[in-house]
Structure 1
Amino acid sequence: MTPPPAERVLCALEEIPDGQSKGFAAAPGGFLGLFAVRRGDRVWVYVNSCPHIGVPLDPVPDRFLDRKREAIVCSTHGARFRIEDGVCTTGPCIGEALEAVPARVDAEGRVLVPADAGL
């Protein structure tokens, strides 16, 4: 029987305002930050790197969504990505996708991701 993969706490669900996003610095020893988008009790987590040229998506901390909060946007060239799967719908990387990070909310309301996420 294979043991479950090691996880780490990214944050408490309540630290991400409903309908908004939040960025997270790279894990110790890592170089890629993560960001999360929350809708109700659901959370999607992605590596903070545009698939087009690898730059971080946010122009200012925690600003990953468009004004209507309907899509993730790359601040460098305006590419738009679906929140639910990270697929680019407009921009130079159309059809490519953000690197998704498996995430879950546990019974205590903590957002958990794999221990090696962002490494």
Structure 2
Amino acid sequence: MIRLCATSELLEGQSRGFTVGELKVIAVRRDGRTYLYENRCPHRGVPLEWRPDQFLDDSGSLLQCATHGALFLIESGECVAGPCDGQTLRQLDAVEDKDSIWLQTDRQSDS
């Protein structure tokens, strides 16, 4: 597992970006749960944000790609509007304890 941040550094309704090696990660907290996605729009393969940690639309209820305005459900990563309608962001496995938010990796050596 790879530690992304302290639990207190991702508050309800907030999003943050992280880089783990070559992987760019989006973290967003909604209804007390942390969701992680690869920061890569399925339409053009570009990162979603145009400013650091700016992944949410104006309402704060959807993830938004700044390049072409695609909108994604926070809970599933499904695109519900825009050029990649029906496609999804690649969801990553989040593990959260009382102190930290972790990215679950497949490598045995990280355990």
Q: What is the TM-score with the length of structure 1 in the denominator? A: 0.83
Which AA in structure 2 matches 1:87? E
Which residues of 2 match residues 1-119 of structure 1 at below 5 A? 7-25=1-19, 27=20, 30-106=21-97, 108-115=98-105
Structure 2 unaligned regions, length at least 5: none
Pair 116,35 (structure 1): closer, same or farther in 2 beyond 3 Å: farther
Q: What is the TM-score with the length of structure 2 in the denominator? A: 0.89
8 Å CA contact retained: 2:95, 2:104: no
Structure with greater strand percent: 2
RMSD: 1.5
Which AA in structure 2 matches 1:8? I
Cα separation, 1, equivalents of 2:49 and 2:94: 20
Cα separation, 2, equivalents of 1:40 and 1:50: 24
Cα separation, 2, equivalents of 1:101 and 1:86: 10
